[in-house]
Amino acid sequence: MTQILHPLRKFSAPTSGTSAGEALLKGIASRNQHFGSYEEFLAVFLERGYRFCFFPELREPFAQIVLRHDVDFDTHLALRMAIQEKDLGIRSTFFFLLRSPMYNVLESQDYENIQLIRDMGHAISLHFDPTLYLDFEQGLRLEVEMFRSLFKTDVNIISLHRPSPFFQQHDAPIAGIEHTYQSRYFRKVKYISDSTGVWRYGHPFETPEFAENKSIHLLIHPIWWMIEGETNLDKLRYYYRQRVDVLKANFSENCIPFRQLNGHL
């Protein structure tokens, strides 16, 4: 897959006397779903004294953030996000699908991207879709074994892809492995998500938990922050056009007759 990467802009705080956090908080009132700069968004938490941690480290009721990424579309966007976080000294957990129509973890560039994310000090693990299996526990055991073999890393916690109410209420490990919807991660701390490209459960900076510096479980999807666009639909349109161009390039590279057809598409 051809890389979909854009130049990274280093974060720098405003010099006018207004902190990055204050400037970003003032912009929330517009309710614009264009999320803006990811680095500036993260910087607000750092200014508030939040410490970013991995899931097993989430123990304190205050000032911890477990930052989670479910990678549904593209490992290149995940890599961009991982680089920006590393530049800020932030660690997060990236969850990848083994059975995805959008990317292939065995493809050389996708595989390398995931390795690079792990080598930066982030955690990587499995994004599991239980609907693909009649016996989801057996399916999970199979995928965990594959993930461990591919990436030489253990799988201590998984995230579930588009979890049904059953799994959101399932408070026990699955096949002996914890998941991100257990109470200690999903109900005992504030859970916030940008799923579908809008804030679920409230904008982080408007929640009582943020005001009180309480610990947060924050789910961020790379596509909503690493792709241009003012709305979630704008971002999807832009990304779709990129993927079509990549598909045409791959077809042309691997099929000589398609090179003639490509000009008429």
Q: Virtual CA dihedral for 23, 32, 40, 109, nearest 10 degrees?
A: -170
What is the structure's pLDDT at 34?
63
β-bridge pairing 178-179 and 51-53: unpaired
Q: Phi first, then psi: give them for residue 93, nearest 5 degrees.
A: -120, 125
Give me the amino acid identity at 125. S
What φ, ψ does residue 96 adopt, rounded to 5°?
Answer: -120, 140
Q: What is the pTM of this model?
A: 0.86
CA distance 112 to 45: 30
Q: Which residues, 6 or more positions from 136, have their beta carbon under 8 angstroms from its beta carbon?
A: 130, 174
DSSP 33: S
Q: Where are the alpha helices (DSSP H) in the chain?
A: 20-27, 38-47, 75-87, 108-119, 136-151, 165-168, 183-186, 208-211, 223-226, 232-254, 256-262
What is the reported pLDDT for 200? 82
Query: Looking up tokens 């990236």, which residue turns up?
Result: 94
Sequence-ordered list of residues with C-beta below 8 angstroms from that of 98, at least 6 positions apart, any chain: 105, 126, 143, 146, 147
pLDDT tens for the chain, 265 residues: list them. 333 333 333 333 334 444 544 544 444 433 444 688 999 999 999 999 999 999 999 999 999 999 999 999 999 999 999 999 999 999 999 999 999 999 999 999 999 999 999 999 999 999 999 999 999 999 999 999 999 999 999 999 999 999 888 888 889 999 999 999 999 999 999 999 999 999 988 899 999 999 999 999 999 999 999 998 989 999 999 999 999 998 888 888 899 888 887 776 6
Phi, psi (degrees; rounded to nearest 5) at 83:
-65, -45
* Entry field: residues in the chain: 265
The Cα–Cα gap between 89 and 83 comes to 10
For the record, the structure tokens of 185 come out as 């991660």
Q: How far apart are CA 71 and CA 76, in angstroms?
A: 10
Give residue 94's identity as a one-letter amino acid code: F
pLDDT at residue number 258? 87
- Distance, in Å, from the CA atom of 92 to the CA atom of 122, rounded to the nearest integer, reads 5
Residue 120 neighbours by CB under 8 Å, 6+ apart: 82, 83, 86
Lookup: tokens for 94: 């990236």
